[in-house]
Chain A
Amino acid sequence: MTKLTRRDWILGAVGIAAWPAIASAQEHAHKAAASPSSTAFEHFDPTTAQDVAAIAARIIPSDDAPGATEAGAVYFIDRALKTFAADQQIAYRDGLADMKLRREKSFPGSTSFAGLTAADQIHLLHSIEDTDFFSTLRQHTVLAWLGSPEYGGNRGGVGWKYIGFDDRGAFSPPFGYYDGGST
């Protein structure tokens, strides 16, 4: 899997989205802000959406704290594929088709990724974790978890809360433990 560099987090995935797409993403952002808990899909069919949601839930699982599911990752990805990541639509189509073949081979009789057991889902994802498609899935899921909620993910700021990021956008010192004079 491509290790991202410090300066360029997203190589080849959303990082090279077309400039006009940013404006269109912003337009969508307003839409998203207006309906932050939208449950309608613009790109995925319902079955695919279930699978993508299940993949995202394996990348950032929910335990006693919210994960990709609560962040609304599948809605973020659905919207991304209609806006700033529109050039990834084919990668998703082909990547999901490849996953389907792998699933049918490894788990005969299975009908969807979402329908697999947790262990089988993890097994299947390990088999593709070095692919560009998985790298894209991971990047999109992380953006959905920790990006700005206006894109339809990170609902209620669940990702930010989990990592301890306060989005107030204005702070006063002391900022942390070591500059607080408490050592």
Chain B
Amino acid sequence: MKAAEFKTSEIVDFIVVGSGAAGGVMAKELAVAGFSVVVLEQGPYLTTPDFGHDEIKYAIQNALTNNPKQQPITYRKHENEAAKPFKAIEYGRQVGGGTVHFTANYWRFHESDFHERSLYGDIPGTSFQDWPIRYADLEPYYTKAEQEIGISGLGGANPFEAPRSKPYPLPPMPVKSSGVLFERAAKKLGLHPYPAPVAILSQPYLGRAACAHCGMCELFGCEMGAKSSTLVSVIPIAQKTGRCEIRPNSYVRKLETDKRGRITGAIYFDAQKREVLQRAKAVVLCANGVESAKLLLLSKSNLFPHGLANSSGLVGKNLMWDNGSSSSALFEHPLNEYKGIQVTRLIHDFYAADPRRGFYGGGAIDARFDFYPAGFALGGLPDDVPNWGLEYKKAVGQYFTRTMTLLSHSTSLPMEKNNVSLDPTLKDDWGLPAPRITFDLHPDDLATMNWLVEREREILDAAGAKKIWSFPIEPNIMPSRHLMGTCRMGTDANKSVVNPFGNSHDVPNLFVVDGSNFVTSARQQPTATIQALAYRAADHIVSKARAGELG
């Protein structure tokens, strides 16, 4: 069936804002359930043949992410500072969103991630809380996501993982040299390495081709459609229903409400920057942890003077970050890590927090190489290598094929003082306020990362590295690509923005479903959980709509 095209004057059943990890799933679920859906996506509609291997375009100019020249972001550490323009956060900005350019790590949360506050107690100065749902609530949806999206992995190989009702649909990707060295070293240290679960096809699946191991996943779009973005997995299914229109280059500036405080539609800028109103019975906001909050704050009205859905005052608050640390190492023989997907082995041994460490937090460590030639030469070498000249050239030649990295993914504690707000002066090219990011690390987050650096070094040493170097923490957590917490879910309308299904406590026909719902950060890699939450919310939304509760 031909993809739908709706008139803006038509009242469609749903507007979905954003087409990434959550928006793609939401559009598919709602359209397949029989509803009319318009997806408003800020970015362009690129397709598989548009992608390529140009490092300058994709990895250095970051062509698939928000462009700070058009959409500036300001950043400050503390609210008493003036925020300055800085690309502190990064998100995928095209149909498929971040799932187009992500590294494709696809981890389920652990059972403990949903009730860590009960396990570890209050942490002063934070809004550390249990989630209002448990792993068992999400398990069927993790399974559904893995099956529909196309995930490769080995269920049960990670002794710390939560129970699963079904194996991964595809076997793990072939191990790389980094994976072999890491596995050998980790086992020597009594740890439990396992094959990385990834949203990349190890075999042909659902009409899509298997990965050809080009090595260009992170920051690149997959030119063969083997990376399981929503662009190539669920969005085509949504469009085939004939009930879903993907409307690219559509940048929403305000959600409209009526006198009763119900959403009536969305005003957006089209490709020519003309303002357009699309009417709808309900809106599902899936724009990411910064953009969703920004849009709610922009959607102020007499009825909602502090922004839409913000009676709690928590819209934009509790922003959690893509925390992690990394160390690289040089080995004797070529690893040729530039071939193949970035990550093939990891450990969750240090995932659980352990009060004996003296701080809250934990992390996972993966073996990877996420450098491309020029980026490696510019930022991948140890400090004692000169920056230019013959010795530098020779080092690049020696190190490029012989280096691997261990990357830790760690906790980011929720704190209200870390947030997204609207910059009072700086505007983007459409005249909308720039998102202003206020973020500083909690001391425990920093302690966790410093502790993990030591574990990285121990493993690299056990792997027989000739040389090990670690990257400084603070500059390397910029920009954050995991945007979580700014519309947290909960049952108490005073302490959360949405209910456990993403439904606004204040506006009955408004849903927010993306990383902003996260109550805690787990240990990063939010995509699987964002998508499981989207599948679960969609079930609920469909039953509400069928019951006529959405107008």
Contact = CB atoms under 8 A, between A and B. Distances in A.
A164 interface: yes
B390 A61 contact: yes
A172 B211 CA distance: 10
Interface in A1-33: 1, 3-10, 14-19, 22, 25-26, 29
A127 B177 CA distance: 41
Contacts of B400: 163-165
B70 A171 contact: no
Contacts of A174: 177
B61 interface: yes
A172 B213 contact: yes
Contacts of B175: 173, 179
15 contacts: A5-B471, A5-B478, A9-B374, A9-B378, A15-B62, A59-B389, A60-B388, A138-B388, A142-B378, A146-B55, A165-B400, A170-B213, A170-B214, A171-B215, A176-B176
A16 B55 contact: no
Contact of A143 (B56, B216, B397, B401): B56
Interface of A: 1, 3-10, 14-19, 22, 25-26, 29, 58-61, 63, 65, 67, 84, 122, 125, 129, 138-139, 141-143, 145-148, 150-151, 159-160, 162-167, 169-179
A173 B375 contact: no
5 closest Cβ pairs, A-B complex: A176-B177, A177-B333, A4-B379, A178-B177, A146-B373
Interface string B382-405: 010001111011001100110000
A150 B54 contact: yes
Contact of B390 (A14, A63, A164): A63
A174 B339 CA distance: 10
B46 interface: no
Which secondary structure characterizes the binding site on chain B?
loop
B109 interface: no
Contacts of B334: 164, 176-177
Contact of A10 (B216, B378, B387): B378
B180 A178 contact: yes
B374 A146 contact: yes
Contacts of B339: 166, 171, 175-176
A19 B249 CA distance: 14
Nearest to B481: A7
B176 A59 contact: no
Nearest to A61: B390
B176 A67 contact: no
